Amino acid sequence: MTNELLQDLEWRGLVYQQTDAEGLENILNKEQVTLYCGVDPTADSMHIGHLLPLLTLRRFQEHGHKPIVLIGGGTGMIGDPSGKTDERVLQTEEQVEHNVRGIGAQMDKIFDFSGKEAAQLVNNRDWLGQISLIDFLRDYGKHVGVNYMLGKDSVQSRLENGISYTEFTYMILQAIDFGHLNREYNCKVQIGGSDQWGNITSGIELMRRMYGQTEAYGITIPLVTKADGKKFGKSEAGTVWLDADKTSPYELYQFWINTSDADVIKFLKYFTFLDKAEIERLEQSKEEAPHLREAQKALAENVVRFIHGEDALQDAIRISEALFKGNLKELSSEELRQGFKDVPQAEVSNETTNIVDFIVEAGISSSKRQAREDVSNGAIYINGERQQDLKYEISNADKIDNEFTIVRRGKKKYFMVKYQ
């Protein structure tokens, strides 16, 4: 019997590797399965690169299975070498604990922690922290061959530049996690990104050696790539975080709304819970009316609503529409800061008041002659309002929070001018 969940995951392109596809399908058809995915607390917020494995885990919950969300308070003290070319900088214990709290709070937005399929949140520091060095070497290290570890991509890729014994042992720690969750929570499946394949299979192998035949499965999802070859998860401002204080809902909305036509359908399958019929309808809209950008709007709306809620989504849409129409007066100073975070910024003297001198000093126009031409031709807007008077004086009324002025030159070129 074909499993509906696995069919959906295949259609979405979310299945990269499986340790035992037939065995996984059989248990998903016959029982409620407990499965897990882990996140190491490398920062006090997750970024959108963390989303795909967690959303995949949530899909299992939507189909009646029980997710365990593991935050690596223990493994985070060590550092995963997977996907890294250089050694990680070790974090302090206090920093790791701070990060654990921040990431734990974000999991409430992604998983349902109530009901019969309630998710569970665990911290591997609780059991890894209890293992002494002697116990680690005798009870676990004895079962893991160095040759076996050297064959894993996460280690192989680091041999040329070097890898510390600390990071070399990370694979064993994650293997211990899978074994612990299997024995204590009857957890039978681990989900991870494609770079976690070696860690996942090591966990299954360690269980087999320690406990004999064990029912355990691994499934990995593909690395998220963009059609243009650029790295996914980065904007002009840098990393796209899930923390609203690091990346505002407006910025998150803009990140998704700017998805290319070449990527948008794939990302709708990856990052939203829209069904096949709706995504196929949006794909048709993209082909027949690409100028409407209906697929991009659906992607941005669904992700921002899921992470930040309906109110934050509506604020993001309102800011976007006001900026698109040039209605800056509709926005608060904080919303303007969000909206113009990435535009060119300049500083001028507080004493510079004439509009011609002002836009020359700010580098908006290249010379006084060009500045007079720009103003006279109606190409200059101060806080959204066109100014064509060559004698116009910049006053305190033009200084938002007495700190900055938004200047537009032409149709789309914006500048944030601050005062010295």
Average pLDDT over residues 52-63: 95
333 domain-assigned: no
- AA identity, residue 345: Q
Binding-site residue set for L-tyrosine: 36, 170, 174
Q: Which of 221, 247, 269 is the last residue of a domain?
A: 221
**How does strand 217-221 pair with strand 234-235?**
unpaired
pLDDT at 86: 67
Whether residue 335 lies inside any domain: the answer is: no
Does residue 39 contact residue 75 with C-beta atoms inside 8 Å? no
pLDDT at 147 over 80: no
Residues 6+ apart with CB under 8 A from 48: 232, 233, 240, 241, 242, 252, 255
Which one of 278, 298, 327 terminates a domain?
Answer: 327
Beta bridge partners, 121, equal 69
Binding site for ATP, residues?
Answer: 234
Structure tokens at 128: 């890894």
Beta bridge partners of 348: 419
Q: Does residue 358 share a domain with residue 267?
A: no
> Considering the domain boundaries, does residue 229 fall inside one?
no
Name the percent of the chain lying above pLDDT 90: 42
Question: How does pLDDT run across 310-331, given as a tens digit for each residue?
Answer: 999 998 888 888 877 777 777 8
| One domain for residues 305 and 387 | no
Same domain, 14 and 158: yes
Do residue 99 and residue 8 come from a single domain? yes
Residue 402 maps to a domain: yes
Which residue, among 408, 354, 414, has the nearest Cα to 385 in the 3D structure? 408
Domain span at 368: 345-419
Answer yes or no: are the C-beta atoms of 261 and 286 closer than 8 Å. Answer: yes
30 with 143, same domain: the answer is yes
**pLDDT at residue 45 in the model:** 93
Which DSSP string do the residues of 172-187 spell out, in sequence order? HHHHHHHHHHHHHH-E
State the binding site: 36, 170, 174, 234
Element (H or E) spanning 271, and its range?
helix 261-271
**CB atoms inside a 10 Å sphere around CB 291:** 5
> Are 25 and 164 in the same domain?
yes
Indicate whether 226 belongs to any domain: no
**Burial class, 217, CB count within 10 angstroms (exposed 0-12 / middle 13-18 / buried 19+):** buried
Mean of the pLDDT values across residues 232-258? 85
Query: How many domains does the chain contain in total?
Result: 3
Q: Is the residue at 373 inside a domain?
A: yes
Q: Place 352 in a pLDDT band, splitting at 50, 70 and 90.
A: low
